[in-house]
Amino acid sequence: MDYRPPPPPSGRAGLQPGFGLPEDLLSHLPNRELTYNGYTGTWSKLDHPVSLCSTPPPGFTFQKSKSAADSCNQPGAVISRIEDVFEAMTDCIIGEKNELVIQLKSRSRTKPQADDSGATAAKKQSNLELRAITFPSRSPQEAWKFTALLRILELCHEALVTGTVTTKRDIYYRDPELFMKQAVVDRYVNDLAYTLGVQRDALNVVAAAKGLVVGPFTITKNDNSVVDYGLEHEVRLFPVPLTIDYGLMGSGCATFRTLAASEYWMRSITGPGIIITAKGYPDIQTRQFLHLLFIQKLDIPIYALVDFDPDGIGIMSTYKHGSMALAHESANLSTPSIKWLGVRSSDFLQTSSDVQGLLKLSARDRRVATKMLEKGIFKEDGSEVEWRRELQVMLMLNVKAEIQILGNAEKLGEWLDRNLLEGSRSI
Amino acid sequence: MPSVILDFYPTKPQTTFPHPFAEAHSKLTDRFVGTSGDYAHITDIFSIATTPTQILSASGGSCIKVHSTASPDIPLEQTIKGAHKLGCHHIVTSRNGRVAASAGFGGEVKIWHISEETSQWAEAGKIVDQNKAGEVWAIALSEDGQFLASTTYDGRINVWDLAGGKIREYETKGSFGLCIDISRDGKYTASGHENGGVYIFNNDMGKLLYSLPGLVKPVRTIAFSPAGTRLAAAGDARVIALYDVSHGEQVANLTGHTAWIFSVDWSDTGEYLLSGSFDGKAKVWSIDRRACVANHSETDKALWCVKWLPKTGRSEMFATAGANQSISFYREATGG
């Protein structure tokens, strides 16, 4: 098939290919679908988009420390608190009052000194500002502040109501002209959370996602707009008609950058693919993204390339089956179709020459591996026979190896070609 | 010049017994097997041990299997279910065949006794020493099964009187003890370590006898000769080092393996040494000639354990087991 080569790197200095998974892209999953159409060359919305919001209770991922009852009720409570604010304003408008007010509790900018506890407490009190932000106001500054706060409230409300998670960065990019800079959003989100008496997480706002992704795909929003992440998020877009032949998730950031820099995802022998990393144990957004890929594009095989150590297998397990802690809530975040590409013990022990880069297991590694062997999927009658075997072999040999043991960019590419080809045959 | 050239060949054209051995540790299916729970997923056989009439095998599964070597079709005699939930990495027997010990991935060590009436093995106790995972790793039993020696992750060597308790505790340089053996007379304990170190301890005096010039790379298997005069050690260095126990000097290097060596075992007479490596190769070495006299490569999967069977008939037999999930038997070709 004929496809355009990736466009040359952008002229902006320091811009690397790829990156920046989806803070924006993932934060409103129900509104967006990952789409491609390799045959007609068009990118379109799916006819039957699978919505994530129908299943998880809003904010379900952020209530770990609270009781189950709390976690069910809190989003509702926060929503109603936000709506109270809106309602108060509506009342103001209906009552034809002259001004709208947001009572904002703001925390001190200066950190209290820890040396004198009594004075610190007093200082804390005095630093706690309770300010009324009114609109209209004679100060244009205050008018702007009011608008920004209202916009943030609205976006939080949207996130809560749709049961999605947004990031501070996402909020900023929803209205960069209004917010002027990221720091404004960061501060106001925190202030609003403080005012409402909840954690920031309870507003369904998280810090920026840590996942990275590269590959020929676009995200189409509900309103049919295609956001140019290439400019703003360092995610290069390739509105090129391509079929995505595989997804590859790796555990290492370094490996991801190696593969992205060499544009392996375009040159792979098995065709173009998407490469994803969460730089270690995946966060919820990265898992959601992979899950989205899985439920919308069942025909795309998804492979895991992780270190040969207990954490590597743990990371793969988190993607595939969900986190151990939230196993019962993982159905909407897991990607059960994941296949293990490597690294296995046979990848580095079948050579007769000495392999460089083998490491000893630490005492912690051995503890982690043993603990894993006790858990469901790793048990004798569990679903992951091979994982159990490789964990046992790891303990037998007392060695571990990082992905880098497979080689540098070129050798890694060859290894991937070989193994992806094998993988695609076995399907 | 040697007048007889020995040749070892598989007891059957195929190396593995198709049945019932294949059933014993072979992969049944890739799914759950029934609800009876007698076999779950069957994985690598990590360790085998012999008695005059039986072969015991331990695998990544939770059960220990016991097969009879007394009859030619090697039938399964007993399955010890749920012996080690997380799998079992070492199993050893006393030379008299009465006591067995097994070490599991969970860090637990179990002692087994065989009933003389029923010929069935039953659990007779556990070694408890605040065992954490990896705390007890390799194990060895003395000839009469009274003493058990073990290594730890942090390089300690412990010797236990199974009737009493811990009787010896040796310190080494803190490197993971990957393998251990006790001499037949019970006089010596030897350990091989991840840093390549090899130590011989005098059990009577309770002290380190020799710290041997090691192999630099991890030593994964160690074995005293039947007479207790020689010690063989091998591992990632891919050579087998022979040491003289009386003065601690290395007397030979057996080279030929091209992959990590996981297991060595002396024949009953001490004439031959058997070795198995990660690439599935099993070799028989003549100690007199310092040379490899038989080479088997019926599998390319790792051989975790190789063992001679106690000599019962005219010819020697040995067994190999590993990642191919079955036990293979070989018989010496005599009269050549």
Give the ipTM of the model, two decimals please. Answer: 0.87
Whole-angstrom CA distances from A266 to A182, A305, A375, A380, A413 are 33, 18, 38, 40, 11
Q: What is the pLDDT of residue B325?
A: 86
Q: What is the pLDDT of residue A129?
A: 67
A306 to chain B, minimum CA–CA distance in Å?
22
| Residue among A367, A381, A385 whose CB faces B133 most closely | A367
Separation between Cα atoms, residue A248 and residue A304, nearest integer Å: 6
CB-CB contact of B100 with B121 (8 Å): yes
Tell me if A285 is assigned to some domain.
yes
Task: pLDDT band for A19, please (50, 70, 90 cuts).
Answer: very low
* Helix, strand, coil content of chain B in percent (nearest 5): 0, 50, 50
A358 to chain B, minimum CA–CA distance in Å?
12
Please check the confidence at residue A424 and state whether its pLDDT lies above 60.
Answer: yes
Q: What is the pLDDT of residue B167?
A: 87
Say if residue A310 is preceded by a cis peptide, omega within 30 of 0: no
Tell me if A49 is assigned to some domain.
no
User: The domain that contains B72 carries what CATH number?
Assistant: 2.130.10.10
A370 to chain B, minimum CA–CA distance in Å?
6
Co-location of A164 and A286 in the same domain: no
| A394 chain-B contacts, CB cut-off 8 A | none
Task: Return the CA Rg of chain A.
Answer: 25
Tell me if B224 is assigned to some domain.
yes
DSSP-assigned letters across all residues of B36-69: T-S------EEEEEE-SSEEEEEESSS-EEEEES
Residue B260, chain A, CB below 8 Å: the answer is yes
| A360 chain-B contacts, CB cut-off 8 A | 176, 194
Tell me if A309 is assigned to some domain.
yes
Task: pLDDT band for A29, please (50, 70, 90 cuts).
Answer: very low
Residues 6+ apart with CB under 8 A from B317: B11, B69, B308, B309, B329, B330, B331, B332
Q: Of residues B206 and A332, which shows the higher confidence score?
A: B206
Sheet holding B157-161, edge to edge: B139-141, B147-151, B157-161, B166-170
Tell me if B11 is assigned to some domain.
no
Q: What is the pLDDT of residue B14?
A: 33
Q: What is the pLDDT of residues B49-73, one digit of tens each?
A: 999 999 999 999 999 999 988 887 8
| Residue among B41, B132, B194 whose CB faces A398 most closely | B194
Separation between Cα atoms, residue A26 and residue A227, nearest integer Å: 12
CB-CB contact of B233 with B243 (8 Å): yes
Co-location of A185 and A242 in the same domain: no
Tell me if B20 is assigned to some domain.
no
Structural domain containing residue B206: 43-332
Q: Of residues A121 and B281, which shows the higher confidence score?
A: B281
Q: How many CB pairs under 8 A join A and B?
A: 73
Residue B239, chain A, CB below 8 Å: the answer is no
Q: What is the pLDDT of residue B283?
A: 95
User: The domain that contains A239 carries what CATH number?
Assistant: 3.40.1360.10
| Ranges of H-type helices in A262-309 | 264-267, 284-296
Q: For residue A281, indicate whether it is catalytic.
A: no
Q: Average pLDDT of chain B?
A: 83
| A370 chain-B contacts, CB cut-off 8 A | 86, 105-107, 133-134
**Inter-chain residue contact B87 with A366, CB threshold 8 Å:** no
Mean pLDDT, residues A195-214: 75
Q: Tell me which chain A residue has its CA closest to the CA of residue B153.
A: A363
Separation between Cα atoms, residue A36 and residue A272, nearest integer Å: 13
Q: Tell me which chain A residue has its CA closest to the CA of residue B138.
A: A396
**Inter-chain residue contact B41 with A395, CB threshold 8 Å:** no
Please check the confidence at residue A336 and state whether its pLDDT lies above 50.
Answer: yes
| Ranges of H-type helices in chain B | 21-25
Co-location of A157 and A230 in the same domain: no
Q: Of residues A148 and A100, which shows the higher confidence score?
A: A148
Last residue in a domain, options A151, A178, A206: A206
| Residue among B46, B107, B258 whose CB faces A352 most closely | B258
Q: What is the pLDDT of residues A129-145, one digit of tens each?
A: 678 888 888 888 888 99
DSSP A263: T
Q: What is the pLDDT of residues A401-419, one digit of tens each?
A: 988 888 877 888 888 888 8
Identify residue B167 by its one-letter amino acid code: I
Tell me if A115 is assigned to some domain.
no
Structural domain containing residue A177: 72-108+127-206
Task: pLDDT band for A248, please (50, 70, 90 cuts).
Answer: low
Q: What is the pLDDT of residue A272?
A: 73
Report helix, strand or coil for A220: strand
Co-location of A159 and A241 in the same domain: no
Co-location of A296 and A337 in the same domain: yes
Q: What is the pLDDT of residue B7?
A: 38
Tell me if B57 is assigned to some domain.
yes
Tell me if A279 is assigned to some domain.
yes
Co-location of A174 and A239 in the same domain: no
Q: What is the pLDDT of residue A223?
A: 52
Q: Tell me which chain B residue has its CA closest to the CA of residue A396.
A: B89
Tell me if A51 is assigned to some domain.
no
Last residue in a domain, options A206, A230, A246: A206
Please check the confidence at residue B145 and state whether its pLDDT lies above 90.
Answer: yes
**Inter-chain residue contact B43 with A389, CB threshold 8 Å:** yes
Q: What is the pLDDT of residue A108?
A: 54
What is the percent of chain B where pLDDT is above 70?
Answer: 84
Please check the confidence at residue A218 and state whether its pLDDT lies above 70.
Answer: no
| A393 chain-B contacts, CB cut-off 8 A | 44
**Inter-chain residue contact A396 with B304, CB threshold 8 Å:** yes
Co-location of A176 and A246 in the same domain: no
Please check the confidence at residue B200 and state whether its pLDDT lies above 90.
Answer: yes
Tell me if B204 is assigned to some domain.
yes
Last residue in a domain, options A173, A206, A239: A206
**Number of domains observed in the structure of chain B:** 1
Separation between Cα atoms, residue B163 and residue A242, nearest integer Å: 72
Q: What is the pLDDT of residue A213?
A: 75
Co-location of A371 and A278 in the same domain: yes
Task: pLDDT band for A246, please (50, 70, 90 cuts).
Answer: low
Q: What is the pLDDT of residue B183?
A: 94
Looking only at the bridges linking them, the beta strands covering A273-277 and A246-250 are parallel
Mean pLDDT, residues A191-208: 79
A378 to chain B, minimum CA–CA distance in Å?
9
B322 to chain A, minimum CA–CA distance in Å?
11
Angle subtended by helix axes A68-94 and A140-162, to nearest 10:
140
| A392 chain-B contacts, CB cut-off 8 A | 43-44, 46, 60, 87, 89, 105
Chain A: residues touching B (Cβ < 8 Å): 349-350, 352, 360, 363, 366-367, 370-371, 373-374, 379-381, 385, 388-389, 392-393, 395-396, 398
**Inter-chain residue contact A373 with B87, CB threshold 8 Å:** yes
Q: Tell me which chain B residue has its CA closest to the CA of residue A388.
A: B60
| A372 chain-B contacts, CB cut-off 8 A | none
Q: Average pLDDT of chain A?
A: 69
Task: Return the CA Rg of chain B.
Answer: 19
**Number of domains observed in the structure of chain A:** 2
| Residue among A360, A367, A373 whose CB faces B194 most closely | A360
Q: What is the pLDDT of residue B130?
A: 60
Residue B304, chain A, CB below 8 Å: the answer is yes
Q: What is the pLDDT of residue A203?
A: 83
Q: What is the pTM of this model?
A: 0.70
Q: Tell me which chain A residue has its CA closest to the CA of residue B237.
A: A354
Q: Tell me which chain A residue has its CA closest to the CA of residue B89.
A: A396
Beta strands in A27-146 (DSSP E): 32-35, 100-106, 129-135
Task: pLDDT band for A162, please (50, 70, 90 cuts).
Answer: confident
Q: What is the pLDDT of residues B7-39, one digit of tens each?
A: 344 444 333 333 233 333 322 222 222 222 233
Co-location of A323 and A177 in the same domain: no
Tell me if A52 is assigned to some domain.
no
**Inter-chain residue contact A370 with B85, CB threshold 8 Å:** no
Please check the confidence at residue A187 and state whether its pLDDT lies above 50.
Answer: yes
From the candidates A173, A188, A246, A319, which is the catalytic residue?
Answer: A173
* Helix, strand, coil content of chain A in percent (nearest 5): 50, 15, 40
Please check the confidence at residue A391 and state whether its pLDDT lies above 60.
Answer: yes
Co-location of A376 and A341 in the same domain: yes
User: The domain that contains A167 carries what CATH number?
Assistant: 1.10.10.10
Residue B87, chain A, CB below 8 Å: the answer is yes
- For the record, the structure tokens of B134 come out as 């990896």
Tell me if A352 is assigned to some domain.
yes
Q: What is the pLDDT of residue A278?
A: 77
| Residue among A352, A367, A380 whose CB faces B61 most closely | A380
Residue B107, chain A, CB below 8 Å: the answer is yes
Q: What is the pLDDT of residue B307?
A: 95
Co-location of A223 and A92 in the same domain: no
Task: pLDDT band for A67, please (50, 70, 90 cuts).
Answer: very low
Please check the confidence at residue B178 and state whether its pLDDT lies above 50.
Answer: yes
Co-location of A242 and A313 in the same domain: yes
**Within its chain, how far is the Cα of B330 from the centroid?**
16
CA neighbor of B194 nearest in space, from B235, B241, B246, B141? B235
Separation between Cα atoms, residue B225 and residue B209, nearest integer Å: 17
Residue B62, chain A, CB below 8 Å: the answer is yes
- For the record, the structure tokens of A328 come out as 């019962």
Give the residue from B33, B36, B86, B324 with the most A CB atoms within 10 Å of its CB, the best one to mutate: B86
Task: Say which residue the tokens 């009594």 belong to.
Answer: A118
